[in-house]
Amino acid sequence: MTETILIREEASAKGTERTLAILELLGRFRRGQSSSEIARTLDLPVNTVGRITETMTKRGWLYRREDDRRYVLTNRVADLTRPQVNDKSLVVSSWESLKDLRDRTGETTQLLSMSEGKALILEQCVSDQAIKVSGTVGMRVPCYSCAPGKSILANIPEIELDQFLEKVTLKRFTPRTLATRELLLGDLQKIRECGYGVDEAEGLEGIHCVAAVILDDYHYPIAAVTTIAPAFRLPANRFEEIGEACIETAGNIRDKLFA
């Protein structure tokens, strides 16, 4: 009897390990993988991969495209990790305000939080402009090279900021990236003083964004709201205007969360 239980536990553990391996693999390939590709990469029997992916598809973790029969991750993982405040969904509470900010500025607006040391896109409202900038919900970008990430960094406790700086490698993505501790800390102080952060083509050439942080009752950053656009439509002389709009939007979202 004991041996039977041990065998079952070992089989269950192996199945769990294989399932997680498939999730992690597909997380690295946004265009998806076929059953044979998954089996080859993970050195698993095709039949085993078929059983696992079928179950994961039925439970909503995977989607199999009709055109090329490749498996891709659904948004269910992101749904599980989306933050809530006072039993209210941060994304749901932010949606109308994001749309209002989009309509007010004419540019794409996004809601981001800090996850594993990076800025995670939780939601976005895409611009109606012919030429526009947008991301992918669930995508992570370096905190130190984007306005929402820097806005969050500027408001976390000093001890957490020190820990972040100890772990992160400040890479230069463009000539404007704040790739030294001194430059980054100087910019974070500016954000604290004016209330909004700016990314002047620090992460990607030709793209500017402005952001403001959403704080909880203890003045801890929950997330940040940002407006992102091509640099030619969001020049430096619009930063203050857009910054004030982001601050107002962040305040509206906070009011909904803590009402």
Domain boundaries, the chain: 2-74, 79-258
Query: Under CATH, what is the fold of the domain 79-258?
Result: Beta-Lactamase (3.30.450)
* pLDDT for 78: 58
Q: What is the pTM of this model?
A: 0.70
* pLDDT for 60: 79
- Answer whether 2-74 and 79-258 agree in fold: no
The per-residue pLDDT for range 151-166, each reduced to its tens digit, is: 999 999 898 999 999 9
* pLDDT for 86: 57
Domain 2-74 coded CATH 1.10.10.10: yes
Cβ burial, residue 98 (10 Å; 0-12/13-18/19+): buried
Which residues of the chain register pLDDT less than 50?
2-7, 9
* pLDDT for 6: 43
* pLDDT for 31: 76
* pLDDT for 11: 53
